[in-house]
Chain A
Amino acid sequence: MTLTSSTERRASERVGRAVRGGRRLALRVIGAVVVLWGAATAAFLAQIALPGDRATAIFNIRAGQAQERTPEELAPIVDAFGLDDPVLLQYLHYIGGLLRGDLGTSYQQFRPVWDLIGEQLAATLTLTLAGIVLSWILMVAWVTLTAGRGGRFRNVGAAVDTIAAALPPYWLGILLLLVFALWLGWFPVMGGSGLIGILLPALTLAIPLAGFMGQSVRAEYEHTLDQPFVLSARMRGMGDLSVRLRHVLRHASLPAVTLTGWALGATISGAVIVEQIYSRPGIGKTLVSAVGAQDLPVVTGVVVLVAALYVVANVLVDIAYTLIDSRLRTS
């Protein structure tokens, strides 16, 4: 009797857990769709918001000079971009295109936006990921060395975090270039391929991000160092470094995992600046010249891509969370 009731209870608990898990998943999916839809709508509105007559603007952006155009001249452009359609129809066209992977057509070059940025995206993403990996290495090493140590060590640690987080990439990039390439001569000044070529640009992205993550990880780290399980690990005779790396870091790294998902977009846009400093291939040059020429489809194409990457990154963050914090797997 008691046996069946407890089995029933366990079964109903399992069902309840599945329902809750399903609801959480559904909320996540809805959240992701809202972000993507919001970004797509903003991208469309931005294209509509171009001041003046759009057909004339597109013609002039393409020709590179601003002047009045006759309706005959503009007719092919009105036709090609569907500018005579009602706005709602244009919106539906745009969203439909995005769903098929069509990011629009460049005003400047009359080529699909995907052709312009697609081939360069890999270089930018490689740089971005290298920057993020490097920032984790720097942050973990620095926080493990300095957090929770006596007096001065701790203050210096926190001060370095704050200063590092405030360094703008355009200045840090120049500083690293001067010190390591010009002064010490350890790296090639421009270009350079493979690991050597990517190290300084990645470091430029990594240092501010490491400082930014370090600020929140440090607080969590110092809090965790006071927890009973840390004391018990020490009482079992575990060394300080392995306590820090195996027990404390696991707890303290959770805020940095969240921040990494959030910072992915910021790191990609930081990469745009870094590419300019180190003359690296990537979407930077295309994007900056598109912004200067008001070539909106290229800019909004990057916006939509970054929103999509943001959504993917946050799914990965969720997965990383459950891997790090085993309590989430059962609840």
Chain B
Amino acid sequence: MTVIDAARAVTSRSRLDPALVASTIAAVLFLAAAAVPGVLAPYPPTALALDSALEAPSLAHPFGTDQIGRDLLSRVVFGTRESLLIGFGAAGIALVAAIVLGSLAALGGRIVSAVVGRLIEVVFAFPILLLALLLVSILGPSAWTQVVAVGVSTAPGYARMVRGQILSAKNAGYVEAARALGHGPWRILRNHVLPNAIRPLVAVFAMALGQSIVWASGLSFLGLGVAPPSSEWGALLDAGRAFILQAPWLTFIPGLIIVVFALAATTIGTRIQRSLEKGE
């Protein structure tokens, strides 16, 4: 249901909106790169060519080559799957935590909602990067840590949204009507409040995905995430840092890919949100 809504939201507006068309094309390309990297990449990601090391972007190597002659375009394409998995994992953790905390804050008893609400606000006030760094230092740097750290650190922002959605759904006219018809509180919650509070989260998930990849790459950039032999986008950035003066494309291009991904995800998310709001 929600997926169909989302698809309809995307297609019905696509004729009007060039930003959305561009975002959708980018999203399709990213998904294709994650699914079948071998089809899109011009070279194997580990093909060495020491005689063509640190070459600037050219027709043969559109994104240039790294210090041991590997084709950067191929590395970016082959890194897409890992980057997206980290992003999906972190966004998933963030939204599940947000739904649990947001529901408790909106629906719990007086004490529970006050305590959880206050907790959300205090953690939300805290910078995401610092929170993620704190979690990495407890769990030790690794890809799994990266997923958990980014997911947990970004959760409070979404938890506030969920709480707001549930509170406004609770006070909506159709809930009033259901109550007047004599429906019990659990039935109202299950049939009316939660579906209406959770539907907008389809849009939030798209935005969370973009944000997660930006934060996770930040951790990799600091050398605290996936380590350089991997071609995850943040790890590519980190590996390119040593050559920032001789071969700036090694950092510039992976960074650009991350920004394009984040912008595409945010654009799709906001458009879905807008059309859901219009539909209701």
A314 to chain B, nearest CB (A): 9
Q: Which residues of chain B come closer than 8 Å to A291, judged between CB atoms? A: 133, 136-137, 141, 222, 224
A interface, size bucket? 35 or more
With A171-B255, A288-B222: A310-B125 Cβ-Cβ less than 8 Å: yes
> By the criterion CB–CB under 8 Å, are B237 and A170 in contact?
yes
Q: List residues of A (292-325) whose CB comes within 8 Å of B's CBs.
A: 292, 294-296, 299-300, 302-303, 306-307, 310
Q: Which residues of chain B come closer than 8 Å to A292, judged between CB atoms? A: 141, 223-224
Encode A247-270 as 1/0 by CB contact (under 8 A) with B. Answer: 000000000000000100110111
The CA of A170 and the CA of B218, in the complex, are separated in Å by 7
Q: List residues of B (122-151) whose CB comes within 8 Å of A's CBs.
A: 122, 125-130, 133-134, 136-141
> By the criterion CB–CB under 8 Å, are B125 and A262 in contact?
yes
The CA of A268 and the CA of B244, in the complex, are separated in Å by 24
With A35-B125, A291-B133: A167-B259 Cβ-Cβ less than 8 Å: yes
List the one stretch of B35-43, B163-171, B245-253 in contact with chain A.
B245-253
> By the criterion CB–CB under 8 Å, are B214 and A296 in contact?
no
Q: Which residues of chain A come closer than 8 Å to B127, judged between CB atoms? A: 265-266, 268-269, 306
Which B residue's beta carbon lies closest to that of A287? B133
Choose among A50, A162, A262, A269 the residue that contacts B129 (Cβ–Cβ < 8 A).
Answer: A269
Name which of A291, A299, A302 has the most chain B CB atoms within 10 A of its CB.
A291
B20 within 8 A of A: no
> By the criterion CB–CB under 8 Å, are A288 and B223 in contact?
yes
Which B residue's beta carbon lies closest to that of A181? B245
A166 within 8 A of B: yes
Number of A-B contacts (CB under 8 A): 114
> By the criterion CB–CB under 8 Å, are B221 and A189 in contact?
no
Choose among B217, B251, B252 the residue that contacts A168 (Cβ–Cβ < 8 A).
Answer: B217
B258 within 8 A of A: yes
Which B residue's beta carbon lies closest to that of A47? B138
Encode B225-258 as 1/0 by CB contact (under 8 A) with A. Answer: 0000000000001000000110010011001101
B118 within 8 A of A: yes
A174 within 8 A of B: yes
> By the criterion CB–CB under 8 Å, are B259 and A276 in contact?
no
A88 within 8 A of B: no
> By the criterion CB–CB under 8 Å, are B252 and A174 in contact?
yes
Choose among A42, A182, A273 the residue that contacts B248 (Cβ–Cβ < 8 A).
Answer: A182
Q: Which residues of chain A come closer than 8 Å to B263, judged between CB atoms? A: 163, 166
Q: Which residues of chain A come closer than 8 Å to B118, judged between CB atoms? A: 34
Choose among A34, A163, A299, A300 the residue that contacts B122 (Cβ–Cβ < 8 A).
Answer: A34
Choose among A50, A163, A182, A266 the residue that contacts B138 (Cβ–Cβ < 8 A).
Answer: A50
> By the criterion CB–CB under 8 Å, are B266 and A178 in contact?
no
B162 within 8 A of A: no
Q: Which residues of chain A come closer than 8 Å to B125, judged between CB atoms? A: 35, 262, 265, 310
Q: Which residues of chain A come closer than 8 Å to B122, judged between CB atoms? A: 34-35, 38-39
> By the criterion CB–CB under 8 Å, are A166 and B222 in contact?
no
Name which of A38, A51, A174, A294 has the most chain B CB atoms within 10 A of its CB.
A174
B201 within 8 A of A: no
> By the criterion CB–CB under 8 Å, are A166 and B262 in contact?
yes
The CA of A306 and the CA of B131, in the complex, are separated in Å by 11
With A35-B125, A291-B136, A306-B127: A273-B222 Cβ-Cβ less than 8 Å: yes
| Residues of A bordering B, CB below 8 Å | 34-35, 38-39, 42, 46, 49-51, 162-163, 166-171, 174-175, 177-178, 182, 189, 262, 265-266, 268-270, 272-273, 276, 287-288, 290-292, 294-296, 299-300, 302-303, 306-307, 310
Excluding A170-B218, A273-B221, 6 further A-B contacts by CB distance (< 8 Å) are A39-B122, A39-B126, A166-B266, A168-B214, A170-B221, A182-B245
